[in-house]
Structure 1
Amino acid sequence: MGRVVVTGMGIISAIGNNLDENYLSLHQGKSGIDKAIHFESVYTASLPFGEVKLSNEELKKSLNLLGEKGYTRTSLLSIKAFEEAIQAAGLTAEDLSSFDTCLISASTVGGMCLTDQLYEDANMQSEGSEYLDAYGCAAHTIQLIERFGIRGFTDTINTACSSSANSIMLGARLIQAGRAKRVIVGGVDCLAKYTVNGFNALKILSESPSKPFDENRDGLNLGEAAAYLVLEAEEITFGKKIYACVAGYGNANDAHHPSAMSDDAVGAIASMRQALTSAGIGPEQIGYINAHGTGTPNNDQVELEGIKNIFGTKLPPYNSTKAYTGHTLGAAGAVEAIFSILFLNHGEICAGLNVEIPLDANFPPSSSLRENVKLDYVLSNSFGFGGNCTSLVLGKYL
């Protein structure tokens, strides 16, 4: 069995409506954190968000869905990114309908982005809205299946903020096990009252742009995004552009707390170590770490301790791209995997934003754009509620 390679990528986030726009924002150090325009909440006046700049109507127009019923913002974002990914990979209708093609998507919010409408429907305060079939976590996946004629194995993962990293891991494993030749993986989440109110109750939302790995970090900014990657078995990709390979992965759970990581970073250390072992490389071969880096007091301290445990005093450049997009929850793992692959392909590392006083002065995050960097492997971390920790090793295709 050959390698698992990436032949297509698609993304929409607060810093761009497609792959090229996202790369340009990263290259220019341009954050998407700002006041929300489309999201309606009592907190939009006081909290910044990483909001996609397109309205639902603009998304529908771009997807030729004007007049169609039952599409939540979650579904619209997922279709937008999915279409870009499969077009980049050159997948045909025959490819998509093959039983050798699988789809593993991820989401935490799903159709619960329509919190008010869900309440009205559930309490029979409406006559039954167009969204009755759209509230579940897997609703967007079902709409992708129906729209693109997918007949192979499909699944929807919800392991909180590690969800789409786990979709990438599962997709790679299906290919390596010979269960599939091609798996489209990724995830989506949009801004929702459900999550904003929940994170606000945890007292971990910042009133300013987040400061990952800064001594004075005070919380995260919620964002929305969708990101998908086309994974294929190397032997079926003759003539195709290959962006990277999924070299390794690791998943562990520290089972410490419903919403916080253990202080001794058990899960984080285990997932990173497993990923390196799976890739068959040593820590010294990692050229960059795209950290989970939420900007919360607990996560950044624990993650940095875990990184130092693995890499010792020879830490590679690291930072968190959530300062650009906000924390996109179930989409974050796929978003940051795509960013990591962009860095591999362009030989650069984006500037880490908003760090004034590094959490550890001896090991500060990378804070300025680095160009002409030799990158063979990058490590991308995604850590979720309940201590579900996933790390991916993405490698340059040679």
Structure 2
Amino acid sequence: MNPILLTHFTATSCIGRGLDATLDALRMQRGGLAPCRFDDAALTTWTGEVAGVDDEPVRRDLREFECRNHRLAQLALRQDGFEEAVRAAAAHYGPQRIGVFLGTSTSGIFETELAYRRRDPDTGALPADFHYANTHNTYSLAAFVRAYFALHGPSMAVSSACSSGAKVFASARRMLEAGLIDAAVVGGVDSLCLTTLYGFNSLELLSTQPCKPFDITHKGISIGEAAAFALLERPENAAARNAALDESTIALVGIGESSDAHHMSSPHPEGLGARLAMQQALASAGLAAGDIGYVNLHGTATPGNDTAERLAVNALFDGKRTPCSSTKGATGHTLGAAGALEAVIAALALKHQFLPAGIQTTQPDPELMLEYVLTSRAAPVRTALSNSFGFGGTNCSLILGLGWADSGSDSDGDSKRT
């Protein structure tokens, strides 16, 4: 595939608002998980809640979209100059030439939970001020961001569980390659809600302590919330509008998707779909496993998921001691936002030449043949693979590269670096 540039990106999660706070937390191995205090949840678990989400309502002209999920999205959009970057792109290309592709799993379902508490005691009717279409509806996130920037290009929501925030990169790339758009706003947003907390509790997947991905004592997930976004452009377009491009510019160079459909909530026991997604990503990038400098593992800290991913990466990397970690020990599992959040974390690792530690993990699975990073450290990293695997066997792997800003394609359409 031809490289697609991340000309701007941002992330907000429980470890911080924006890139500087996120980078500092990763370098200092500072996590954001805390005992669950969300709403009235009576659960013994840890969550990654973003402080201050409810401090500022959505913009006045967009009040019909008012809900926690969109407040979190707005909070993130206002970090790192991302809003200004999108508006500059829209001014250059035209609002009809910018697409919006966003992932979420539960969207604004918490607004529906609140509405059910206010049902009419006689009729059971939901309150008149509850707007399902603009809050709970899965597409409402894409509609909100599209309206926020007054964009008129193609837009869509992807809701494929925990791979949602990664698969949007693939959706956007197809539109860019087809010439239907000149730039794309991609990302993922998922916020805490009772449906998610009690749903995972019913599956006996919640950990009673901060989650420990790939640790021999791992016992379950810690749920977090996050919003992460990237502005994608083809290199020639970004150069033509004089976007700031240099040797630290990050590019999306490989994408792999698969659907093993093994079980609604359990991965294929041998990690078949996960391995296929990674293989496809490598093939599309024209890279071998040995070319990857860092792997951001999906690493949810459930025994079933970690074992399946371990089998998949062992088979693919074939004994290579490639550095890897799951950053969910710091952020929690942010579900539909995880793919976008961890793509941004991988981009930070490339841009700042360091390997983020998998905090909380102290005794890595000895059968994992990759090198699990226990201490954040400086390292020369040129390519990073980020995995996102969801319920129902819907899988996506992204490969990001450093120094691909001037890349083109050869006569066969394969990517190349110059």
- Measured in 1, the distance between the counterparts of 2:215 and 2:341 equals 22
- Given the alignment of the two structures, is residue 74 of structure 1 paired with residue 95 of structure 2, yes or no? no
**2:183 aligns to what?**
182
Q: Deviations over 1:336-374 (max 9, x none)?
A: 000000000010011111223221266351101121x11
Choose 171-180 or 1-10, whichever is displaced more: 1-10
Native 8 Å contact 1:168 1:185 kept in 2: yes
- Matched residue of 1:343: which SS? helix
Native 8 Å contact 1:258 1:387 kept in 2: yes
Which of residues 102, 105, 118 is equivalent to 1:105?
A: 102
In structure 2, relative to structure 1, the CA distance for the partners of 1:88 and 1:316 (3 Å cut) is: farther
- Measured in 2, the distance between the counterparts of 1:245 and 1:67 equals 33
- Given the alignment of the two structures, is residue 40 of structure 1 paired with residue 56 of structure 2, yes or no? no
**Superposed displacement of residue 88, structure 1:** 4.4
- Matched residue of 1:246: which SS? strand
For structure 2, list consecutive stretches of 5 or more residues without a partner in the other structure.
Answer: 405-418
Q: Deviations over 1:283-336 (max 9, x none)?
A: 111000000000000011110110010000113100101111100010000000
- Measured in 2, the distance between the counterparts of 1:49 and 1:362 equals 27
Which of residues 221, 236, 243 is equivalent to 1:240?
A: 243
For 1:168-179, what aligned pairs fall within 5 Å after superposition? Answer: 168-179=169-180
Native 8 Å contact 1:89 1:240 kept in 2: no
- Matched residue of 1:9: which SS? strand
- Measured in 2, the distance between the counterparts of 1:200 and 1:224 equals 17
- Given the alignment of the two structures, is residue 324 of structure 1 paired with residue 330 of structure 2, yes or no? yes
TM-score (norm 1): 0.93
- Matched residue of 1:161: which SS? helix
**1:164 aligns to what?**
165
- Matched residue of 2:100: which SS? strand
Identity across the alignment (%): 32
**1:365 aligns to what?**
372
Native 8 Å contact 2:139 2:157 kept in 1: yes
In structure 2, relative to structure 1, the CA distance for the partners of 1:142 and 1:330 (3 Å cut) is: same
Q: Which runs of 4+ in 1 moved over 3 A?
A: 63-70, 120-127, 130-133, 361-364
Q: Which amino acid aligns with 2:269?
A: D
- Measured in 2, the distance between the counterparts of 1:212 and 1:92 equals 39
Native 8 Å contact 1:96 1:149 kept in 2: no
**Superposed displacement of residue 113, structure 1:** 1.8
**1:341 aligns to what?**
347
**Superposed displacement of residue 2, structure 1:** 5.6
For structure 1, list consecutive stretches of 5 or more residues without a partner in the other structure.
Answer: none
- Measured in 2, the distance between the counterparts of 1:315 and 1:121 equals 57
- Matched residue of 2:56: which SS? helix
TM-score (norm 2): 0.89
Which of residues 279, 286, 303 is equivalent to 1:280?
A: 286
- Measured in 2, the distance between the counterparts of 1:390 and 1:32 equals 26
**Superposed displacement of residue 117, structure 1:** 2.7
- Measured in 1, the distance between the counterparts of 2:192 and 2:216 equals 27
Task: Say what the alpha-carbon RMSD is for the aligned residues.
Answer: 2.1
**1:390 aligns to what?**
396
Native 8 Å contact 2:268 2:393 kept in 1: yes
- Matched residue of 1:79: which SS? helix
Q: Which amino acid aligns with 1:368?
A: T
Q: Deviations over 1:65-123 (max 9, x none)?
A: 59945411101111222344343466255357532210001111112122433435597
**Superposed displacement of residue 17, structure 1:** 1.3
- Matched residue of 2:372: which SS? coil
In structure 2, relative to structure 1, the CA distance for the partners of 1:8 and 1:214 (3 Å cut) is: same
